Amino acid sequence: MKIPASPHKQHGVILFIALIALVVIMIAAVALIRSTDTAQVIAGNLAIKRDMTHESELAVKDALTSFSSGVFVTEDARLYTNSGSNYYATALSSNPQGIPYVLLQASTSGEAAAYATGMTYRYVIDRMCPQEGPPRDCQTDQGSHGGSFTNDVDVSANSGKGLGVRDLGVYYRVSVRVTDTRGAQSYFQTTFTSLGSP
């Protein structure tokens, strides 16, 4: 018959193991909380990026409106720079990423408040031509073109002849800078062509 061990001979091994298990659980809980915080930050940043993209689309819409019914609706208005309206009749010098230096400057000239978000945006439009005035050697929908700036095929003719003269459309570049409420900035860019006019 065995005699049970007396209580004074136990050394508290179970208590030591329990403490180690508690430390491991606490470390796991802290790691879980930190990963949750990181996920929330990432989700928040993605939401801000989405909002900035939306605001840039509104800026491009404003720029296109100035061509369809605004200050640049006439051909003569597009021939010369109007920096007050953020328009340049020549291709602007840009950084290696293609963003015009004039947009990278800290100037808030021409900035507009975005719709109910606290963000602001500024856009610049530059005509893809090497010089002001009537378009020569501009980037067009047929590539770089010089001389008479005409094409000998009239794509609108459907009589079967297909011959004629039409103006080539010049490319315009719209570059947008969106600034959020924290001062973070995003840049967006698109191009469009204006057929039959400079």
pLDDT of residue 141: 59
Tokens 């009537």 locate to 134
Whole-prediction pTM: 0.66
- pLDDT (tens digit per residue) in 6-65: 656 666 778 888 889 999 999 998 888 877 777 777 877 888 888 888 888 888 988 888
The answer to whether residue 4 scores a pLDDT higher than 70 is no
- pLDDT (tens digit per residue) in 146-169: 444 444 444 454 444 444 444 567
Q: Which two tokens stand for residue 23?
A: 């430390």
- pLDDT (tens digit per residue) in 90-112: 999 999 988 999 888 876 666 77
3-class secondary-structure state, position 9: helix
CA-angle at 27, arms to 26 and 32, nearest 5°: 95
